[in-house]
Amino acid sequence: MIEERNDVLLAEDDNDDVIVFELAMKQANIPADIRVATDGDKLFTMLKQLIPDILFLDIHMPCKDGISCIIEIRRNKDYDHLPVIMYTSHTTDKYIEDSYRNGANMYLMKSKTVQELSANLKRIFSVDWKRNMYFPPKQNYVLS
């Protein structure tokens, strides 16, 4: 049996957060090829090259922040089937509301441990994104 790998694009400028994310993916036993965009401009260059199966998008990045990126992504029909998970340490209602209103699929809080992040990643990857673009009700939008 061939294991299907997920093409994951992580827009994250903090290398420590990238390492934690990669460890959590491995611990969750989610087969994936993870590409990293270190700023908003690189993100769009990478999206033009290959649209991933799923995008994890940090809010605070150089060049273009995550809120600007989600707005631009949702305005482009090429990305209509791209699940976007905001991946951030910001808990303020403004960021949650802005990302929700502008079309992010979920809001994933950066976890304090690899185990917590691993559990949340399992929840995210349990959604069949290829068949169903899932936009949860607001009360189920934030994973922490």
Query: Span 48-60, mean pLDDT?
Result: 96
Contact 88, 109 (CB under 8 A): yes
Among 21, 28, 29, 24, smallest CA distance to 3 is for 29
Domains and their CATH numbers in the chain = 6-143 (3.40.50.2300)
Q: What is the pTM of this model?
A: 0.93
pLDDT digits (tens, 9 = 90+) for 89-128: 988 899 999 999 999 999 999 988 999 999 999 999 998 8
Among 97, 43, 87, 95, smallest CA distance to 69 is for 43
pLDDT digits (tens, 9 = 90+) for 71-94: 999 999 999 999 999 999 988 899
Round to whole Å and give the CA distance between 125 and 92. 25
- Tokens at 10, concatenated: 């992580």
